[in-house]
Amino acid sequence: MNNENMLSTVREKAQAWIDGPIDETSRKAIRRMMAENEAELVESFYKDLEFGTGGLRGIMGVGTNRMNIYTVGMATQGLCNYLLKQFKGKSRISVAVAHDCRNNSPLFAEITAQICTANGIKAYLFEGLRPTPELSFAIRHLGCQSGVVVTASHNPKEYNGYKVYWEDGGQIIQPHDENIIREVQRIRSIGEIKFDGDKNEIIKLGEEMDALYIEEVAKQSLNPELIKAHSDVKIVYTPIHGTGVKLVPRALKRMGFKNIYHVPEQDVVDGNFPTVVSPNPEESAALDLALKKADEVGADLVMATDPDADRVGIAIRDDHGKLILINGNQTASMLTYYLLSQWSERGKLTGREYIVKTVVTTELIAEMARHYRVEYDDVLTGFKFIADVIRRNEGKKTFIGGGEESYGFMIGDFVRDKDAISSCCIIAELAAWARSQGKSMYDVLMDIHMKFSFYLESLINVVRKGKSGAEEIQQMMAGFRKNPPAILNNSRVLMIHDYQEQVTTDRISGKRTGITLPRSNVLQFLLEDGSKISVRPSGTEPKIKFYFSVHDKLEKREDYERVHSLLEERILNLKKELGLV
């Protein structure tokens, strides 16, 4: 479609909205764009905001390609239509709804609940902002058939999102995701949305659900006696203006920790995230205020959760007493080591236990699983796939924990999505456990490197915004498939995993074998020296991600700096050869 035809189509779509049953404020905004800003009009209407395999995520504003009450309404009406078909004959279908701190999140959540009631579906709505993992817990506890959380996770303040869950408490997967997408696509006009639900029929959830959830979190403790002995571990926690503000400190206190320090400026619930550029615990700047507070009070540990409190970033003190940031792979490795070692020491490993990680997460976790003779699964990126493994193993095997490199981890199966609340509690318990042995958390990390192998990972995000950016990302992936690298950093590429084509290619023998995981636009290159490079477009942001993983032996602690430098150099060379630096 050329630019002239696209603009004509965009204007037709915009005019249809103006002529439709929308509010006057939205109507004026569209008219302004049509008269003054064609570029903004195109970005707002050139496509429909895609209801993807997890739901919606986009910039807030007016238009078919924006998050607003109408795109949320279409998504909800499509979900309701599918639920009514899927559970036909059930006396009452129910949906739980939660929201984060973002601008418009309470509005979008309430409209979602209203549309459910207008369709004869019972709606449970949290009375205020709540963490995503609590929504997952509530679905299971209440016996709901589905759930919705309004959140854009760690995206910038301009974004909002809408994630859909199924009755097992996990995010929707096949076939439900594709079936819901089809139902949403069948809705052709705003007039088909049933907005007229009765607010009085919405059942509010509050303190009672919080208490039940916190008790389940507390049950995940493996060493409550050590917490009693080391309850004075100093912890600085920040919710970065988000939903963890009440429940993380409450859960830590329930576990027995006494010295919890807040960052007052970031305890303020605010969808504009005034103290940070991005409310993302993966970014060091988001923890600046917490690190400052930690140095003021002499804290041992810093923890920061993202706006919907499903991911956590941490900082610990090194050998010199300096606070250092720990990345998602390191946090997941430390949690996995703690869980597996404690299950082993207590004689709880019977051969029926397992852990799960994603394909782009550190292979150090796989090494640990093999060491403790615990089964592990590799799944595609996204906790919905971890939840699916748990669902399939229900009643047959015991899930210990699982995680991904992007700062998400889940302990136990009472929740079926990544859970920063329980993760914060077990991270703090890990700190108490280390202290009981006269060690720091940094010592534990060094122990892991020496016991298994020294893995070092790095991530580069290449951002390409808008329509042209999406096309460029597609071209990059196509280029890697058509002309994959043969040698990188003087090491041969031995194996290529193409999860979209569902084929693994042995570059030496030419043998091709099938991949049983679902299709996903991911490529992995495995090198002769043990390096792993993964490439995938983000499913929620306008970027393509490059994951690098290298490893080597660390025989003794004194060699740490030398080995670390060698691994950093290896990663830098890989980035250079791929033209990323």
Residues noted as catalytic: 153
Question: Rounded CA gap, 581 and 576, in Å?
Answer: 5
Contact at 8 Å (CB) between 252 and 428?
A: yes
Q: In angstroms, rounded to a whole number, what is the distance separating the alpha carbons of residues 309 and 299?
A: 22
Provide the angle, in degrees to the nearest 10, between the axes of the packed helices 69-86 and 105-118.
40
Decide: 512 and 518 in contact? Cβ < 8 Å.
no
Specify whether the CB–CB gap between 229 and 197 falls below 8 A: no
Beta partners for residue 57, in sequence order: 161
Distance, in Å, from the CA atom of 497 to the CA atom of 517, rounded to the nearest integer, reads 11
CA dist 218 to 305, 326, 495, Å? Answer: 18, 24, 43
Half-sphere exposure of 109 (CA within 13 A, CB side): 30
φ and ψ of 458, to 5 deg: -150, 150
Contact yes or no for 425/251 (Cβ under 8 A): yes
Question: What residues contact 185, with CB distance under 8 A and at least 6 apart?
Answer: 51, 78
Tell me how crowded residue 501 is: count the other CB atoms within 10 A of its CB. 15
Q: Which residue carries 């907005």 as its tokens? A: 195
Query: Residue 308 and residue 39: Cα distance in Å, rounded?
Result: 32
Q: The tokens of 92 are what?
A: 């009452």
DSSP 8-state code for residue 60: B
